[in-house]
Chains A and B, each alone.
Chain A
Amino acid sequence: MNVWRLVRPYAMVAPSIVTFGVFFIYPIFYMIYLSVHSWDFVSPEKPFVGLDNFAELAGSREFIEVLGNSFNYTLMTVSLTIVVSLFLALWLNRKGVLYGIVQGAIFSPHIISLVSVSLVWMWLMDPQFGLLNWLLASIGLPRLEWLSHPDSSLLSLVLVAVWKGVGFNTLVFIAGLQSIPSELYEAAELDESSRLTTWCRITLPMLSPTLFFLVIINLIGSFQVFETIAIMTQGGPVNSTNTLVYYIYQYGFRFFKIGYASAAGVVLLAVIGLLTLLYFKLLSKKVHYR
């Protein structure tokens, strides 16, 4: 009886600790271990190669390009998503049936599986038979190549990501806006604050924790983009949409260079880790009011 009392709390948390350990902690360390070895997935031997994999990464023009793509994609996706969601939130943050419907409508992409989204957008963006080009042509604009040209392929993927992400971000922004006490606006009104001043001096600072949170989770999410690329472009054309996670997948599970892929994984881990660290550092320092 007494033993059980001692053991019970540990027994209660054990399932989640074990799951976390087996599926999150162990793989991270195993990846780091693999990144300094050479392995092809099947051979029983994993010779130690030191930092060779990392040296190879650093020397690979393809990898540098992939990193560049990842950063470009992330930068565009995050800035567009945030700006569009913020404006939508400002517009939708009021009562009324119409606003409720629009909110629901823009949120719906969030609950659709990315695979379906990718397939639908591939069809929409088809250069010959796609709806988008048909629309462009019907208003007299030139047709676009969308996914099939290196110059527009990454942007097309950004468009899909923004379309999918805007609903959720808008919803969080609306929640943030609604948590700003109305008295602050009333006090500002009595202080003869203009709309612009109120927005810059009250709304934006009060919204900054929300804004910051969304920027960080979007950064992290965008950096890990995989499904849309795997389905829509497979990294092409000419490597123009190949990003870090897809690159890891290619080298690990297509070319079976597990050590090399793990090294790239370590780079990804470092980037995400840095972003997370930045989030908590800044959060505790600057952007909190209550």
Chain B
Amino acid sequence: MAQITLNGIEKSYGQEKVVHDLNLTIKDGSFTVLVGPSGCGKSTTLRMIAGLEKQTAGDIWIGDRCVNEVEPGKRRVAMVFQNYALYPMMTVKENIEFGLKNRKVPKPERERLIRDIAEIVGLSDYLHKKPQSLSGGQRQRVALARAMVKSPDVFLMDEPLSNLDAKLRNQMRSELIGLHQRLGATFVYVTHDQVEAMSMGDQIVIMDGGRVQQADSPMNVYHDPANLFAAQFIGTPPMNVLKCGEVEGMDRLRADGEPYYVGFRPEQAAIVHEKNPGCLHFPAVITTRETLGAEIVYQLRSGAGPLYVKSFLKPLEQAADVYVSVPHSALYFFDRNGERNRRAKLPEAGPMAMAAAGGAFR
């Protein structure tokens, strides 16, 4: 139906290049999330798919149609804007109806569509109100209804939840997931919030500096990051990253190339008092404890810099001087340029390693 293919897309504003050679396939019916820090080019990419910005180079395909020269209204896409972009002088009904009228949909048909959609998004009682008398969540629903009523092949969403409060955001998040399953259309969703990305997307595209850093499923992005940026962008707190040279016990590292950084997820590490075989150990001092209930986040000071450790359903660690223990299998290695080095490995604990295990910091 509507797979989106971006071929060698570039975008420049004058001298400044904001998107570099972007190649991306967004599968039909997928919920793809473009995520990255502000200024990474994710919104620009979305707007190029919508046709609101023209790419400087490259081709955009929606379904089996190259849409380079197709105007936004004819691309069979609908967009939900960050600030909703509702027409303030029109009622909710007129807002939803505007696109249909422009497309010369006959009146009875329009009435039926609006009634159905209003039912789905729960706006039936508000059809004759103006947007400014609605709450943020309701405005969001109007924006969604306005997109849905056109039954597009592709929904484009530009940070649609960022103006809502935390509770409402969670609720709308699950409603959007439900909506996606119900409609079966392709969703492309832009956010800077990695939690949103992980919880909603079935494909996550991590962008930075106008380039795709990694495009994969949420679990793969988390467990198998392609580079340092992806590793540190996903996860709260972010992955701990240290320079290999400053960590003891790295001398037995078997590697092709030159692994420069070593990283591990805060939730893979444990706070211990005794060294365990098969693990890397860092002597550290606990500086802060964030008790969140089910989980506790410790911030520690170690010889190579600050570390985070996250523990689940364990009693609060009271001692200050501890070891942070990380299994060798949970270590990630990266080259000096930030690329993941998948060949580097610390050997699993054997008889030889036992003795040397727990190499500590200088």
Q: Which residues of A contact B (CB under 8 A)?
A: 181, 183-184, 186-194, 197, 201-202, 205-206, 289-290
Chain B residues near A187 (CB-CB < 8 A)? 79, 81, 85-87, 146
Is the C-beta of B71 less than 8 angstroms from some C-beta in chain A?
A: yes
Whole-angstrom CA separation of A116 from B12 in the bound complex: 50
Q: Distance in Å from the Cβ of A235 to the closest Cβ of chain B?
A: 45
Chain B residues near A190 (CB-CB < 8 A)? 50, 52, 72-73, 77-79, 99
Whole-angstrom CA separation of A154 from B72 in the bound complex: 51
Whole-angstrom CA separation of A184 from B131 in the bound complex: 13
Whole-angstrom CA separation of A42 from B78 in the bound complex: 78
**B85 & A186 in contact (Cβ 8 Å cutoff):** yes
Whether A192 touches B83, Cβ cut-off 8 Å, given contacts A197-B102, A201-B98, A290-B88, is no
Whole-angstrom CA separation of A191 from B88 in the bound complex: 15
Q: Distance in Å from the Cβ of A164 to the closest Cβ of chain B?
A: 33
| Choice from B51, B74, B81 contacting A183 with Cβ under 8 Å | B81
Chain A residues near B51 (CB-CB < 8 A)? 189
Q: B140-165 vs A: 1/0 string, CB under 8 Å?
A: 00000010001000000000000000
Q: Which residues of B contact A (CB under 8 A)?
A: 50-52, 71-74, 77-79, 81, 83, 85-90, 98-99, 102-103, 132, 146, 150
Majority DSSP secondary structure for residues of A touching B: helix
Chain A residues near B88 (CB-CB < 8 A)? 206, 289-290
Whole-angstrom CA separation of A193 from B102 in the bound complex: 6
| Choice from B73, B87, B90 contacting A192 with Cβ under 8 Å | B73
Q: Distance in Å from the Cβ of A162 to the closest Cβ of chain B?
A: 29
Chain B residues near A193 (CB-CB < 8 A)? 73, 98-99, 102
| Choice from A181, A194, A290 contacting B85 with Cβ under 8 Å | A181
Whether A189 touches B73, Cβ cut-off 8 Å, given contacts A181-B83, A289-B89, is yes
Whether A191 touches B89, Cβ cut-off 8 Å, given contacts A183-B81, A290-B132, is no
Whole-angstrom CA separation of A241 from B81 in the bound complex: 55
Chain B residues near A192 (CB-CB < 8 A)? 73-74, 99, 102-103
Q: Distance in Å from the Cβ of A212 to the closest Cβ of chain B?
A: 14
Q: Could you jot down 16 A-B contacts, CB within 8 Å?
A: A183-B83, A186-B52, A186-B72, A187-B81, A189-B51, A189-B73, A190-B52, A190-B73, A191-B102, A192-B73, A192-B74, A193-B73, A193-B98, A201-B87, A201-B89, A201-B90
